Amino acid sequence: MKPKAKTKSPPKKKVAALPRIVTPAAWKVAHKKLLAKEKVATRARDRLAAERRRAPMVRIEKQYVFDGPDGKKSLLDLFEGRRQLVLYHFMFAPGTGGWPTAGCPGCSMVVDQICHPAHLHARDTSFALVSLAPLQSILRYKERMGWPLPWFSSAGSDFNVDFGVSTRQGEIFGLSVFLRDGDDVFRTYATAGRGVEMLGTVWSLLDLTPLGRQENWEDSPAGWPQTAPYQWWRRHDEYGE
């Protein structure tokens, strides 16, 4: 039998509009101006980070109990002996996409981009995920995704409600930062929505490209390919070829 001929992938559609084509010299001039503006934005972010480091904090008085693979854990235990804790509130609960066998696709995309925890540990900082899902559901999904990060269940506790990620509309995602001083735990920072983008490189890399994120909220030239936000996001093992 003759081997089947390989089918060629259809050619990519041409973009309806493209950036201006200029000489190398003109490109260098325009690029230098853009880099100068980026430097201003970088210094503004540095000033904001300095203000964040000096922001007030609140003591956590309530005792929370989480389920982990090694048994019950307190919020203090999640620090793993380190001084700081960055905690991602991962949407894995009734009403979220994928329930009951899989966590939120958007949260999954975020966690795919988290750095190896050893780099955080070197700066006396731990990272953990917390969800409302039962521990066994978390462990099965964690194995499927291949994530090495610590992940705990807050089922049966007030943690999600107290930290603003359980609402009447359902679960939402978010990020909380904690500092400990001995056995005292303080919440120093929290964000949600696009504030969580600081965890990811996918958006940062796409923002460097001419076509950007290709989402219809972006300010892009007419003719740029764009689709609705969120709808193109998938768990990493669910993208088609």
pLDDT at 110 (0 to 100) = 95
Of the chain, the percentage scoring pLDDT greater than 90 comes to: 84
Burial of 80: CB neighbours in 10 Å, binned 0-12, 13-18, 19+? middle
pLDDT confidence bin for 7, thresholds 50/70/90: low
Residues of the chain by 3-state class (helix, strand, coil), percent to 5: 30, 20, 50
Mean local confidence (pLDDT), 108-119: 95
Strands (E) across the chain are located at 58-59, 65-68, 71-74, 84-89, 125-131, 151-153, 166-167, 170-171, 174-181, 184-191
pLDDT confidence bin for 168, thresholds 50/70/90: confident
Of the chain, the percentage scoring pLDDT greater than 70 comes to: 93
Alpha-carbon separation of residue 47 from 24, 70, 204 (angstroms): 34, 41, 20
Whether 206 and 78 have beta carbons less than 8 Å apart is answered as no
Look up residue 26 and give its two tokens: 């003109």
pLDDT confidence bin for 5, thresholds 50/70/90: low
pLDDT at 240 (0 to 100) = 84
Residue for token digits 């210094």? 43
pLDDT at 30 (0 to 100) = 97
Whether 176 and 165 have beta carbons less than 8 Å apart is answered as no
pLDDT at 60 (0 to 100) = 98
Residue 185 in 3-state DSSP?
strand
pLDDT at 232 (0 to 100) = 92
Any idea which of 109-123, 133-147, 222-236 has the lowest mean pLDDT? 222-236
pLDDT confidence bin for 9, thresholds 50/70/90: low
> With 60 as the cut, is the pLDDT of residue 102 above it?
yes
Mean local confidence (pLDDT), 43-52: 96
Mean local confidence (pLDDT), 43-68: 97
Nearest to 176 by CA among 166, 162, 190: 190
Any idea which of 26-35, 59-68, 193-202 has the lowest mean pLDDT? 193-202
Residue 181 in 3-state DSSP?
strand
CA distance linking residue 239 with residue 232, whole number of Å: 9
pLDDT at 241 (0 to 100) = 53
Mean local confidence (pLDDT), 67-89: 98
- Average pLDDT of the chain to the nearest whole number: 93
Mean local confidence (pLDDT), 230-234: 91
> With 90 as the cut, is the pLDDT of residue 75 above it?
yes
Mean local confidence (pLDDT), 61-87: 98
Q: What is the pLDDT of residues 130-140, one digit of tens each?
A: 999 999 999 99
Q: Which domains does the chain have, with CATH numbers?
A: 58-196 (3.40.30.10), 201-233 (no CATH)
